[in-house]
Structure 1
Amino acid sequence: MGKITNEQIHKAFEVGKKIYLNQISLNEGTESLTNMGMKKSSGLDYIYAYSNLIQGKLFTRTINSYGTEYYLERIYNENETNGLKTALLFLYQHIEYYEKTSGAAVKTGRKIYQKFYDLVKDDFGETVFPNEVDADQKYSEGKTRQVTVNSNERNQLARQECIEHFGLICQVCDPIGSFSEKQHKNQVNKTQGV
């Protein structure tokens, strides 16, 4: 029971599909894959991968890149654009999950995602209505990115020197409170709803 062969992957797809459609039991499907020389744990991974791809659910186990491409190709051929869009949701969640937990980039997975996304990207802009969304669906949070923001504080000494030199005269309102012209224009805009 060494490397998973392409023939085993093809069989695992068919078995996963039959189990998903309740045509055979999980035990029967797993046994048929182990009889081909596949480890039971690997067989289960490929079986569950089918179910999760079809439903667009997060799956935390990994199948190899050939298996991923093969599954996506078959799903696209059998279920067309909507089936592939759902499967891509699974793949995207899986990539984000794996990168977050392992700290490693999933370059091949992203290439596969992009290849199949390009086939259906024009259909991703469709409106999704609330009654079309499964409320029980679980989604991964996604990758966390650190964002740095610069915040500038006003230099009070420079402000005071400007006020002493130019005074508190606004070109819009003439002399008024302790606003500099820029501050006062912003305050006026806020009160006018601009």
Structure 2
Amino acid sequence: MSIEDVQEDFFLGELKKRNGIFYFRRVGMYAPEGSLVLFQFDNLIIASANLHSIEKFDTPEKEQYYGAYQFDIKTLEVFQPITVAEINKIDGNITRFSQSKQEINSSFISEIEELIKRKQMALLADELPVQESPKLKEGAKKQVLVNSYERNYKARQQCIDYYGCHCSVCDFEFAKFYGDEFEGKIHVHHLKALSEINEEYEVDPINDLRPVCPNCHLALHSKVGDKPYTIEELKEKIYRN
């Protein structure tokens, strides 16, 4: 199961249907009402929500659940995965993620919230196309309430690892222009629009994707008609000007 599957099916699906009820086995966490809870999957933080309340059951429910957290679903967020290295830069006491519950110093709450905000902005910027299209999951079409694209995070990261974080069109690099805190910021562009694909396919991070800056990403999708500009076409426009 991918990170995107967990985010969509559980956090944005099942957990919302349960009105934020999250059952736990054995010993739950001890946290005051209103605490920001970060959810981990596959050694990455992929979602967050504010804790509303904790209920302990007198007898185990379904013979396995000893209680339940209720989260405020209005505060539920999913975002691009956060690594332990990113958390460690904020709270040096967090050096690894594990199955046990960990507490981040509450004095860092504003920095954690800012990091989540940046991750949300990056997710939306990468996945919302200029032209309206139905939501796609690596080529499989399905209708949803909002028009957006679902990207495969691992494919995105492999693309960046291979090509680097400079724009494939204009060579812009966030970290060189704005400083080290912007290291790794870049959009990823599908060379073949997902709207042209009618069945499931496996994205090739090297051949199907390219890193591009937000300006060039917008320009690529600004061509009149169904197809975006190619990277080569956009480069020619830059050179002509």
Structure 2 length-normalised TM: 0.21
Structure 1 length-normalised TM: 0.25
- Higher normalized helix content (fraction of residues): 1
| Higher Rg of the two aligned structures | 1
**Bigger RCO of structures 1 and 2 (CA < 8 A, at least 6 apart):** 1
- Higher normalized strand content (fraction of residues): 2
